[in-house]
Structure 1
Amino acid sequence: MLTSDNNNNLAEGAAADGHELPVARDSNDNTNNSNIGSPAEEGVLGKGSGSSAFTKDQPECFVCIEAGADLLRGCACRGTSAGFVHLQCLVEAAQANRATWFRCPTCKQEWTGRLGLGIARARYSLVAEMPEEDEDRLDAAMDLTRALSKSGDFAEALQLGHETLTTLRRVSGEEHEDTLRAMSCLAYVHFEMCDEAEALPLETEILAVKRRMLGNDHPETLAAIANLAATYADLSHHDVALPLLTESLEGERRTRGSDHTASIIAMNNLATLHMHMGNAEEALPLYTESVERNQRLLGSQHPNTLFSIGSLGCLLYFMGDHAEAVPLLEDSIVGLTLVYGEAHPHVVNFQERLDSCVSDMADSPD
């Protein structure tokens, strides 16, 4: 997801919504797939693992400093113990420190996966009975819309997104920054649902306003460029998408550096477009760099890393390198299933590609 540094939005530290176009095993990661989640970089510890089962090397909640069942981790903290927390403990910590609603206080990355959805639901539940024009309620609704969409809960995300945008258009006007953010949330839901025809007019309007009000190099403008480009790419309008994605990547690198999350996602999206256009030689170095940077900055089991690994696996499959593609796709599927579940669109997409790859290898005379 593309992040926005605009602190004038309703959410303090909230992120704008960025699209990742649907499409290597970590050389430093010796973890077998069957052991991912024991404990996981991102996931939940199973019920019944009472405190007596933990050793000093096993995780404990960073808020209450106690071990126990249902510890979650949904950030970029690494190792066997860092970053784990009970959801209720995190909610209590966030009520005392607003920034904790959005990001891990240690690694400073956004919450993801089940923890991200859980904290977003908890935040919204605290303000759901407030008047619909209340800023905290609107902000929490947008945060929850985004989390629901990332988790594949599209029906609920769509309803909440429409309600929030309707309210903000009425109380703040069409071009207010919070209205534009609500439009971006709703466009993100439509994009994830593969309903690009609904996303396109929203994203076109957002970009036109951002260019006029903020200029071409503002982070929010660059995010809007990337989102519109991703939608055009999904609609196979490659001639329109290519210059937009190139502008997005160059702008992110110039203004925020190559290690910023937005730059890496732009890199991955440009690689995906090149793959769809049949330009494998252009896509390969971009995908490879995306994987390397994500692994170094976020760890091998962060959702962004897992998505880039799966994308690289898809490219290698299309290039005919099935032996290299299979372990990458397997790692991505196992990790993303742990985070989002097996029905998530990214998991389904990569599983279909893996099945095709294995079938092709079985049919090969070699």
Structure 2
Amino acid sequence: MCKKIHRGGNAEQYNADKKYKEAVAEAVEECADDTKGQTCYICTQALHWKTKEGLVRGCACRGTAGFAHVSCLAEQAKILIAEAEENNLDYKAFNLRWPRWWKCSLCEQEYHGVVRCALAWACWKMYVGRPEVDETRQLAISVLGNGLFAAKHDEDALIVQEAELSMRRRLNAPEGNILIVQTCLANSHLRLGRNEQASNMLRDIYSGRVRLNGEESRDTIIAALNYTSSLGVLRRVEEAKSLLRKTVPVAQRVCGENDEITLRVKLTYAMALYRDTGASLDDLRESVTRLEDLERVTRRVLGGAHPITTGVELRLQESRAALRRKTPSPGSA
């Protein structure tokens, strides 16, 4: 085994290659029903010519669009980043290319679930051999943590995020970068049921973002969204509603009506309205109306299979049920 690991590029590279293959297999299996009879839009084959892997699709593409092999998507991203590095393109040009590791080039929506996780392992195995001070490697570990979180591999995500935070601190990273990693860590703690710990972390992160970026900032909006989500889990609904009332119009101005962050903020506010134990009839009606509007928008913008769309549909059912329970029956006093 030691010889095999050494041939594979030593332990980190060997592990990354192994985990990548496992993640691709999981993604292909998850997407099997959706991809049946389709071909890759990049290489035009059903099976990848080299790896023999099947197809995936985990974005907002619909119809016959968006089917691909993880290997083809990874190769696309790798080539774009290599070109940027070889030609010494500026920071802005690099940032336009880097999201190919988690975002579809056709619909421009982020991949989700196990497809995002497989691409994240592809990214990490590509750059793990670089020195720790290499910025691309630093970005790759962040992509990996987010990919594991997207696939709900929460314990693994936490390990990667803690390693990234330790690395960022060793390298004296800017405060904004530290806040990003702390946010990921807090969300993993929240997913694992450590609710008070997570909420306290997210409160401090939100305060840090307001101080660093001001309220009219996408980063601050995301911090507010994360913090209010944790308040909802703790049933501190009034605090959540108060902050969300301010955040919804700011998100619409800063991010745009159809941006995923805006949609998530609107969803969180609608949930807070009907989950409040003291919700009035008007609150419940407003929640249902907001969720009905949101369901139409998310289905149009993101597609029916996107986690935000399915989440909105579930919350709409819950809000309608809450409204029915609250509505007086005909003839009652």
TM class, shorter-length: 0.7 to 0.9
Residue 292 (1) aligns with residue 296 (2) = yes
The equivalent of 1:82 in structure 2 is: 65
**Which aligned pairs between 1:262-273 and structure 2 lie closer than 5 A?**
262-273=261-272
1:145-166: CA deviation from partner (whole Å, max 9, x where unpaired): 1221222211111111111111
Distance 1:197 1:171 in 2: 29
Normalising by structure 2, report the TM-score.
Answer: 0.75
The equivalent of 1:62 in structure 2 is: 41
Q: Could you say which structure has the greater relative contact order, defined with CA pairs below 8 angstroms and 6 or more residues apart?
A: 1
Distance 2:222 2:61 in 1: 25
Instruction: Please state how far the C-alpha of 1:126 moved relative to its aligned partner.
Output: 1.8
Instruction: Please state how far the C-alpha of 1:192 moved relative to its aligned partner.
Output: 2.1
Amino acid at match of 1:284: V
Distance 1:228 1:246 in 2: 14
The equivalent of 1:45 in structure 2 is: 32
* More deviation, 195-204/292-301: 195-204
Distance 1:315 1:85 in 2: 37
The equivalent of 1:324 in structure 2 is: none
Secondary structure of the residue aligned to 1:107 is: coil
1:48 to 1:230, Cα distance in 2 relative to 1, 3 A = closer
Query: Among residues 294, 303, 306, which one is paired with 1:302 in the alignment?
Result: 306
The equivalent of 2:319 in structure 1 is: 315
Distance 1:305 1:133 in 2: 39
**Which aligned pairs between 1:1-366 and structure 2 lie closer than 5 A?**
44-45=31-32, 54=37, 59-68=38-47, 70-79=54-63, 81-98=64-81, 99=97, 100-173=100-173, 176-277=175-276, 278=279, 279-320=283-324
**Structure 2 residue runs without a partner (length 5+):** 1-28, 48-52, 82-96, 326-333
Distance 1:48 1:273 in 2: 37
Amino acid at match of 1:243: S
* More deviation, 124-133/142-151: 124-133
Distance 2:267 2:246 in 1: 14
1:259 to 1:184, Cα distance in 2 relative to 1, 3 A = same
Contact 1:103/1:109 (CA < 8 Å) preserved in 2? yes
Distance 1:47 1:149 in 2: 23
Amino acid at match of 2:110: E
Distance 2:195 2:158 in 1: 14
**Residue identity (%):** 25
Normalising by structure 1, report the TM-score.
Answer: 0.69
Instruction: Please state how far the C-alpha of 1:231 moved relative to its aligned partner.
Output: 1.1
The equivalent of 2:9 in structure 1 is: none
Contact 1:133/1:167 (CA < 8 Å) preserved in 2? no
Bigger Cα Rg: 2
Aligned residue pair count: 270
Amino acid at match of 1:120: A
Contact 1:43/1:73 (CA < 8 Å) preserved in 2? no
The equivalent of 2:22 in structure 1 is: none
Secondary structure of the residue aligned to 2:66 is: coil
Distance 2:184 2:206 in 1: 14
Secondary structure of the residue aligned to 1:244 is: helix
Distance 1:82 1:147 in 2: 23
Could you say which structure has the higher helix fraction?
A: 2
Instruction: Please state how far the C-alpha of 1:48 moved relative to its aligned partner.
Output: 12
Distance 1:193 1:286 in 2: 29
Instruction: Please state how far the C-alpha of 1:127 moved relative to its aligned partner.
Output: 2.2
Secondary structure of the residue aligned to 1:251 is: helix
The equivalent of 1:15 in structure 2 is: none
